[in-house]
Amino acid sequence: MEILAPVGDRSMLDAALAGGCDAVYLALKHFGARAYAKNFTLEEVKDIIQRCHLIGVDVHVTMNTILYEEEVEAAYAQAKALYEMGVDALIVQDLGLIHLLHHRLPELTIHASTQMSIHTPAQIEQLKKLGVKRVVLARECTKAEIEACQQSGVEIEVFVHGALCISVSGQCYFSSFCYGRSGNRGICAQPCRMAYTLYKDGQPISFNQEYLLSPKDVSVIDQIGQLSVDSLKIEGRMKSPVYVYEACRQVKMVRDGKKRTEKDKERLKLAFNRGYTLGHMFDQRGYNLMHMDSPNHQGIPIGKVIGIHGKRVKIQLDRSIDQNDGIRFGQAYGCRVNYLFDEKGRLQKHIDGHHRCEAEVKSKIQKGSIVYKTISYALEKEVEKASKETIRKVKVSCFVHCDGPSTPLVCTMSDGIHTVTCVSEQLASVAQKHALNQDTIAKQMYKTKDSWVEITAFACTLVGDIFFPMGVINALRRTTIEALEKERTKICCQPEKPYAFQPKVTSDHRIYVQDLPDSMADLTKNVTNSYGIAACLEMGFEKVALSIEMTPDQIQKTVLAFGARYHVDAPVVVYIYGKIRYMIMKHCPINTVCLDGKRQDCHLCHRHHFELEGKDGRRLLMKGNKDCYMQLFDETPRNWLAMIPAFQALNINDFYVHFVDESPTKKEEIIALIHSVLR
């Protein structure tokens, strides 16, 4: 199983390689779902690909945002440039981009992003039609669903450690509609990590925790032996090198049959944790899934504040502390320990557990506060050293021979896939005193300590008493390694193919109320461009519901582009009335707060009126669906009924209406209004 590591900058790349990853995933400045990570330029990615390929590490680039019409060609150009650089795979969400790459660059390997909400074999069968080679399954998949998807014939990748989205992957519009920052565009404001109050029938429910949508981090490292997927993915392109190193090291340890110690687990907690859960993979619910006290890194508890003297706090330690460690008091104030004092007021660099210490702070701290270590300075330095000093090696066989005086020294090296042979420029002379022997040749050839090569098999054949200067042997070794390096980093690309797809389009028109038929690509497909429409048609759908994130202007651009390219009207459906569903999730805050969190058909959300209120005063309506997934809706419905004539002028004649809690009278009124506006 491949270990796939997150890389947000160069230091994280060094840490991932030192930690033992088999592949890395990263993004450029555009079209990646972590827009606030440092990310890379094309030239930087080119260097990274060459560096990684040299040591047998694959490079995957994420281009996992939805694309609007005017962005598709730019995204394609970036993808083409990456293909020509030798990228191993692109991780893509947008169906339009997948479709375009499938037709124009069919040899480019595409992995379907977790943002595509894939959790069934049927969905995978559709994506096969677009040439997808691997699927990153949705993080809410159960172990049984993962096992079912493994029978699909494509590679399966799952998250085994890192942050967990509480919403169904790719189906969260909370940040987009409330804060103007789309999660599907890589700029999520993370409203799930904010504080909320739960209201029941108009009254707030008294509850001592307020982060009702904030899950723990998923970690199934110790359960890897129960999985048989192709890739074990670690989340975290915006985390630290320490986190990446420890996560890679420990996933590799377990994958290779070793057990983690408590010390290992503590190191990973120090790197970053919000508490750990086995997640939806192992059907965790309620308190086993959520960390509702705080959305932040928890670190590990190391002591308690027992006194305060001016700017200094006195701490009774349970665990050791070092100067420059990061600490936090309760869930409030945190800082680096710039100056560490023992109980006699003397400066120290380290104080053992079960002693007392003092630290300077710049905020008011409460006596009795639990002290957490959130950054280990010693661990930072250890990882920094490992990242600099670890040299990944490739096992190579080496065979050297010379057929006698006046013939060259010949060196052949092979990594098992690539084989190169180089010859010395100088020819062998007759030995005057000491003839060259196999041991001398071997000693020079094994001098690969600072290179990527590790010679694990060596053979040598020499004919007659011959002599070469040591410089000739060393130069031949370097030349052969360079030749093998060129072979390992060689890029093989197929020429771009012309785009010649012509969709088949049906012409019947309808108003859809509540549910869309299976023959239609529904809102979960997040279609935002004309190529996305074509992709859905290629997968076998008859019509395509356009994303609720699109504006009327974007809809117009998309259908006009579709018509211009394919010379037929776009078979699209527009969502014209309904309360926007901001989020759908397996977690139920109502059941967790009011009952036991086990989410077993409590029906509370259907017997009472529940709302979720944020600190900004905005309230969201809460309703569970037939599968007991909790949904959060805007309390004010979208009403685009007046725009129907404008849509019909674009030859859009299919519309979608969805009711949440409207009365029968209101439903009849809306349907009547639609028919009165239709021409």
Phi and psi torsions of 98, nearest 5°: -60, -45
Strand extents, DSSP E, 496-603: 511-513, 520-521, 543-545, 572-578, 581-585
Query: Does pLDDT of 313 surpass 80?
Result: yes
Number of residues assigned to the chain: 679
pLDDT number for residue 615 = 93
Give the CA dihedral 256, 262, 263, 268, nearest 10 degrees: 70
Query: What would the two tokens of residue 671 be?
Result: 């349907």
pLDDT bucket at 32, cuts 50 / 70 / 90: confident
Mind listing the pLDDT tens digit for each residue in 44-77?
Answer: 999 999 999 999 999 999 999 999 999 999 999 9
Query: Does pLDDT of 332 surpass 90?
Result: no
Instruction: Classify residue 649 as left (phi > 0), alpha (psi -120 to 50) or beta.
Output: alpha
Which one-letter amino acid corresponds to residue 242? V
Strand extents, DSSP E, 216-329: 217-219, 231-234, 276-277, 300-309, 312-317, 321-322, 326-329
Q: In terms of C-beta density within 10 A (0-12 exposed, 13-18 middle, 19 or more buried), how is residue 501 classed?
A: middle
- How many Å apart are CA 238 and CA 217, to the nearest integer? 14
Percent of the chain with pLDDT over 70: 100
Chain centre to alpha carbon of residue 136: 9
Query: Does pLDDT of 248 surpass 70?
Result: yes
Which one-letter amino acid corresponds to residue 624? G
Neighbours of 310 (CB within 10 A): 7
Query: Does pLDDT of 678 surpass 90?
Result: no
Query: Does pLDDT of 507 surpass 90?
Result: no
Neighbours of 308 (CB within 10 A): 16
Give the CA dihedral 668, 673, 675, 677, nearest 10 degrees: -170
pLDDT bucket at 331, cuts 50 / 70 / 90: confident
Q: Which of 271, 238, 241, 230 is nearest to 62 (CA)?
A: 238
Neighbours of 204 (CB within 10 A): 11
pLDDT bucket at 450, cuts 50 / 70 / 90: confident
Mind listing the pLDDT tens digit for each residue in 98-150?
Answer: 999 999 999 999 999 999 999 999 999 999 999 999 999 999 999 999 999 99
pLDDT number for residue 449 = 87
Contact 568, 613 (CB under 8 A): no
pLDDT number for residue 600 = 80
Chain centre to alpha carbon of residue 58: 15
Q: Which of 309, 306, 301, 318 is nearest to 345 (CA)?
A: 309
Question: How far is the first Cα of the chain from the last one, in angstroms, to the nearest whole number?
Answer: 58
Rounded mean pLDDT, 614-638: 94
Query: Does pLDDT of 33 surpass 70?
Result: no
pTM: 0.93
Query: Does pLDDT of 300 surpass 90?
Result: yes
Mind listing the pLDDT tens digit for each residue in 317-329?
Answer: 999 999 999 999 9
pLDDT number for residue 599 = 83
Map out the domains of the chain with their CATH numbers. Answer: 2-164+215-259 (3.20.20.70), 300-389 (2.40.30.10), 394-488 (no CATH), 511-677 (no CATH)
pLDDT bucket at 472, cuts 50 / 70 / 90: very high
- How many Å apart are CA 286 and CA 208, to the nearest integer? 15
- How big, in percent rounded to 5, are the helix, strand and coil portions of the chain? 30, 25, 40
pLDDT number for residue 644 = 96
pLDDT bucket at 167, cuts 50 / 70 / 90: very high
Percent of the chain with pLDDT over 90: 91
pLDDT bucket at 651, cuts 50 / 70 / 90: very high
Query: Does pLDDT of 36 surpass 80?
Result: no
